[in-house]
Amino acid sequence: MFIIVVGCGRLGSSLARSLQSAGHEVAVIDWSPAAFERVEDKPEVRKVLGTGIDIDVLRDAGADRCAALAAVTDNDNANILIAQAAEHVFHVAHIIARVNEPSTQELLRRFEIDSVCPTQLAAQKVFDALQSPGS
């Protein structure tokens, strides 16, 4: 399926690579040309230069025909805006937003938009590792 990844930082680029390897059509959006170096070796991944909080940029990337969109920039509020634009303007079937601030995640829960909180995931992992040393 066709998936848009907004944000080509460490998380976004890694996600885009995995999705492409898994056989999906992928477009990444980032405002910094330098960010695309992270997916340089993946010519199949389409690179769209621009800020994801602009409806025209999302449309250029193909938001009106994508099956899924992941908003994973390092800016929580940008991800929240992008996720809502994807939902209300482009009616994307499957949307997921990255939110670093745990208390903000609740806002997306109320809007019934899926989110992932790397802060909590990492804290949980570290906690688990500390609880079971040697495993």
For another protein, the binding residues (CB under 8 A) are 53-56, 75-78, 80-81, 84-85, 88-89, 101, 103-104, 106-107, 110
How far apart are CB 118 and another protein at their closest, in Å? 16
Let me know: does 86 contact 78? Beta carbons within 8 Å.
Answer: no
How far apart are CB 85 and another protein at their closest, in Å? 6
1, 10, 13, 55, 68 from 42: Cα distances, Å: 17, 15, 10, 26, 20
How far apart are CB 84 and another protein at their closest, in Å? 5
For helices 76-88 and 102-110, give the axis angle rounded to 10 degrees. 10
Q: Is 99 buried (19+), middle (13-18) or exposed (0-12) by CB count in 10 A?
A: buried
How far apart are CB 99 and another protein at their closest, in Å? 10
DSSP string of 19-54?
Answer: HHHTT-EEEEEES-GGGGGGGTT-TTSEEEES-TT-
